[in-house]
Structure 1
């Protein structure tokens, strides 16, 4: 009888350790199932000793295990192991800090001309440089003017505008003056 009680205690403590290990490792529920099996075994042993002891163990486990799991999740991030497992602050957005991302920052707010059709990705030309771009929404035809909204890693996000800020928009066959070639 004494060894059975010790075995029940070992099974319950082992199940608690397995629950903590499940929280810390990506076992996809395997350790949680092992913990559940240990608890079922402990309850079966408790019922073999005495029905009252078995019912008491079930009540203690139904109340105690959720409380234990709650506190394990609350306390674990504050331990050295938990600090090692969890992210402390948000990671930088993709492309931030890369040479390409820093180079593209200089184009934010500037106008450019679509060199290819942006559906939604394509290329634009800014100061004789080809830059990979993605339209904010919709299709942008080749030759249309866009404004660079922001640098997103290795490409820029653009929005279609009526024309460039500094240059007049030219259409094919318009001639050299603004009257459409008529003199």
Structure 2
């Protein structure tokens, strides 16, 4: 039921139990309703100290529409009427508060996200660069590893270089296959 004609920015349609248990509707200013009032489940919860008659009202909303009051102590309440996913996308929470008024709220979150991406990208490039593959640092790492560990086992230098060549060939083939598979998966969608 929409008794406020959806045209008011300050009023909302509330429902309450009228005479003989029928549902009644009233267009009431929302901010006045939520400030200084208690949460009630029935008319008995709203009984005042003076004994005056009072009723418990609830927002008259559509099935998926919600009325939410967000409180943040030094400021006034933020009131939201609408679909919950819209609120989740419209409001962002942060642990940071700027010390100066000319600084934006988004700068610390932007810097934090940027640093995470830089660390992730650097780590990924370090892993790819250390793959035993031709023209990458992994080629020189493999040569140094073979020279340090296989000198006593394989005494012939040409055999060690041949073994290193086949390992580099296998690593290059695996890296090329991985890149080709990744490109195919991206373009196949």
Normalising by structure 2, what TM-score? 0.26
Structure with more relative contact order (C-alpha pairs < 8 Å, separation 6 or more)? 1
